[in-house]
Amino acid sequence: MVITGSKILEKYTFDETNRLVQAVKDEKTAEYRYNALGLSIQSKTADKT
């Protein structure tokens, strides 16, 4: 996590098996989902406006 003053610039969230499930940077969010084999099955991005 990168914090400047009171604003978070980057934030990364991982699941219990250390896979990236969410990344937030410059007020944009990317989310990732995985199947039972650990393969990426879905990703989506959105602006936080």
| Predicted confidence (pLDDT) per residue in 20-43, tens digit | 999 998 889 999 999 999 999 999
Count of the separate structural domains present in the chain:
1
CA angle 34, 32, 22 (to 5 degrees): 130
Judged against a pLDDT cut of 70, whether residue 8 lies above it is answered with no
pLDDT-based confidence at residue 49 (cuts at 50, 70, 90): low
**Structure confidence at residue 9 (pLDDT):** 79
**Long-range CB contact pairs, 20-25, < 8 A, 24+:** 24/48
Containing structural domain, residue 20:
2-47
